[in-house]
Amino acid sequence: MLKIENLHAEIDGKEILKGLNLEVGAGEVHAIMGPNGAGKSTLAYVLGGRPGYEVTQGSVTFMGEDLLDMDPHERAAAGMFLGFQYPVEIPGVSNVQFLREALNSQRRTRGEEPLSGGDFLKLAKDKAGLLKLDMEMLKRFVNVGFSGGEKKRAEMVHMGILDPKLAVLDETDSGLDIDALKTVGEGINTIMRSADKGVLLITHYQRLLDYVKPDHVHVLADGRIVKSGGPELAHQLESEGYEAVAA
């Protein structure tokens, strides 16, 4: 469903991604691991179309379409979800308002009918329950005053409500205590583990992978995938370190 070929991208004229290749098929969970500064977040933002992240070479195909040709909101409507390493605070806009607008915007873009207020609230309540996030939190402004863990759980509530085809999750496990990690891991499985969906899990640590078992593990270093393998690669990275494994 996602095919990245020879992707080069730069920020402010500095090349960060230097010829990255990766393919994610439907029903698969891929983990991307790598040292700080390797370009993991850059990859996520390039896939999400963040302004300022310029693709200079290569191609990305998503569900048979040219992803790089779509605006960020069109990518979302096409089924791409980006989980942010640092979720953004939006004072003055409640989660409920934000998410309802997001879901209905996506539906409009896809030519579907908008969801009614009642149906939306039912859906939101259901997904908040799945992530053990108090519904009251969703009435508050987007991420404002949320703890690190609450922000990450809220992101997974977004994902549950928007029901994407592909989730690119950038260090969703950082800032989570052990109980929250389990909740989030199970949430990802419930929402995304299905034959027609894919997950690209960017993480620093093995621990999230204990809950969300990857089918493939890749090491990203200096803007390229330098090694790929099965789940055992994550364990090897954990015990031996990136340098030894990627060398």
Give contact residues for Mg ion (rule: CB under 5 A): 40-41, 85
Q: Are strands 29-33 and 14-24 parallel, antiparallel or unpaired?
A: unpaired
Q: Is 40 or 216 the residue whose CB approaches Mg ion more closely?
A: 40
Q: Is 26 or 93 the residue whose CB approaches another protein more closely?
A: 93
Looking at residues 17 to 36 of the shown chain, list those that interact with another protein (rule: CB under 8 A).
none
Q: Are strands 216-221 and 29-33 parallel, antiparallel or unpaired?
A: parallel
Question: Read out DSSP for 137-150?
Answer: HHHSEETTT--HHH
Q: Is 138 or 246 the residue whose CB approaches another protein more closely?
A: 138
Q: Report how far residue 123's alpha carbon sits from residue 102's, in angstroms, rounded to the nearest whole number.
A: 13
CB of 242 to ligand ADP, least distance (A): 11
Q: Are strands 224-229 and 216-221 parallel, antiparallel or unpaired?
A: antiparallel
> Half-sphere exposure of 121 toward its Cβ, with a 13 Å CA cutoff?
5
Identify whether the C-beta of residue 185 lies closer than 8 Å to the C-beta of residue 154: no
**SS3 for 19?**
strand
Which one of Mg ion, another protein, ligand ADP, none is in contact with 198 (Cβ closer than 5 to 8 A by kind)? Answer: none
Identify whether the C-beta of residue 157 lies closer than 8 Å to the C-beta of residue 124: yes
Around Cβ 136, how many Cβ atoms within 10 Å? 8
Q: What does the block give as tokens for 176?
A: 């989570």
Q: Is 25 or 37 the residue whose CB approaches ligand ADP more closely?
A: 37
Residues in the chain: 247
Binding residues vs ligand ADP (CB under 6 A): 11-12, 14, 16, 34, 36-42
Q: Is 78 or 202 the residue whose CB approaches Mg ion more closely?
A: 202
Looking at residues 75 to 94 of the shown chain, list those that interact with another protein (rule: CB under 8 A).
75-77, 82, 84, 87-93
CB of 42 to ligand ADP, least distance (A): 3
Site string for another protein, 90-129 (x = CB under 8 A): xxxx---xxx-xxx-xx--x--------------------
Looking at residues 32 to 61 of the shown chain, list those that interact with another protein (rule: CB under 8 A).
48-51
Identify whether the C-beta of residue 56 lies closer than 8 Å to the C-beta of residue 141: no
Q: What does the block give as tokens for 225?
A: 């995938």
Beta bridge partners of 108: none
> Half-sphere exposure of 25 toward its Cβ, with a 13 Å CA cutoff?
4
CB of 22 to another protein, least distance (A): 20
Tell me if 214 contacts another protein by CB under 8 A.
Answer: no
Tell me if 146 contacts another protein by CB under 8 A.
Answer: no
Which one of another protein, Mg ion, ligand ADP, none is in contact with 36 (Cβ closer than 5 to 8 A by kind)? Answer: ligand ADP
Tell me if 73 contacts another protein by CB under 8 A.
Answer: yes
Residues forming the site for another protein (CB under 8 A): 48-51, 71-73, 75-77, 82, 84, 87-93, 97-99, 101-103, 105-106, 109, 142, 158, 162
